[in-house]
Amino acid sequence: MSTPPLVPARDSSRIHPPVRRVALTEISDQPLDVAAHEALVCDPRAGATVSFTGQVRDHDGGREVGGIEYVAHPTAAAVLAEIVAEVTARTDAEAVAVTHRIGELGIGDLAIVVSVSAAHRHEAFAACLELVDEVKHRIPIWKRQVFTDGTDEWVSCP
């Protein structure tokens, strides 16, 4: 039995084409809510909803992390909106919601939430993966890791 490709062929069983609705793109300094993102992408055309959360972990490169700080360039919200619009337009997502957090975060806090609904799970997973990768690659948000030994390090800075 073979595994289906991550990006499936277009679904010819649909009655209507995907809506491709951007429900939310946001940069926020407030705690993130996965259930709220999933509610925003709820759609009767969708048989699958996939959510990704990126949370602050307690280690990096063999060192203990005590917390992090995210700092956004003034264009970060516009870049996020552009990324989400591009990926949503070229996938079979029905709806998408993405929020990236900024400010000081503790271990376990959510740094990003991406929720995608689509007719089928493969479409939802593929769109979610592409969104996460594009946001991580392109958004002008920088991370300062604070280690438990009192030192810090900037990551993903130009």
SS3 56: coil
Supply the pLDDT for residue 107.
98
- Residue 141 per-residue DSSP state: E
Binned at pLDDT 50, 70 and 90, residue 19 comes out as confident
94-134: pLDDT as tens digits: 999 999 999 999 999 999 999 999 999 999 999 999 999 99
Both tokens of 15, joined, read 């009655």
- Residue 8 per-residue DSSP state: P
Domain covering 24-53+75-141 assigned CATH 3.50.50.60 in the classification: no
Per cent of the chain over pLDDT 70 is 90
Q: How many CA atoms within 13 Å lie on the side-chain side of 31?
A: 6
Nearest to 57 by CA among 148, 154, 127: 148
CB 99 within 8 A of CB 32: yes
* Distance, CA of 50 to CA of 96 (rounded, Å): 10
Query: What are the residues whose beta carbons fall under 8 Å from the beta carbon of 121, sequence distance 6 or more?
Result: 47, 48, 50
What average pLDDT score do residues 89-97 get? 95
pTM, rounded to two decimals: 0.90
